[in-house]
Amino acid sequence: MQPDGTRHGYYPEPTPWAAGLAVAIFVGVLAAVAVYAFGVALAEVPHVGWLLAVVVNVIAVGGVTPTVWRWRHIVVTRWVLGGVAAGVVLGWLVLLIAAFLA
C-alpha cells in the first residue's frame, strides 16, 4: 500500500505557491492592460466602436478557450492561464466601467 499523497510510486513535489502566484499576478496585469488598451482603441472607431470591441473580444476568447481548456492540467502553464483568465475578466470589468462613465 502506498503512503498518502503518492501517485505512481513517487512523492509529488510541493506546489510552488510564491513563484506561481507571482507569475499569475504578472501575467494577469499584462493581460488586463492589453484587453483594456485594445478595447479602448476599438471603441474609438466611429459608428461601431463599442460593438466592435465586444465582438472582437468575444471572438478572441471563444477561439482561445479550447486551447486553454486542454492546457489547464500542465503544471507550469496553469499559473499562466490562471493569470490570463483573471486579467481578461479584470480588463472586461474596467472596460465596462469605462463605457458607463464615458
Q: Give the pLDDT confidence score for residue 49 in this predicted structure.
A: 80
pLDDT value for 53: 86
Length of the chain: 102
Q: State the pLDDT at residue 82.
A: 94
pLDDT given for residue 99 in this prediction: 85
- Residues 88 and 31: beta-carbon distance below 8 Å: yes
Instruction: From residue 68, give the alpha-carbon distance in Å to each of 29, 30, 39, 74, 100.
Output: 18, 17, 21, 10, 30
- Regions of the chain where pLDDT drops below 70: 1-12
pLDDT of residue 6: 54
Task: Name the residue with cell 505557491.
Answer: 17
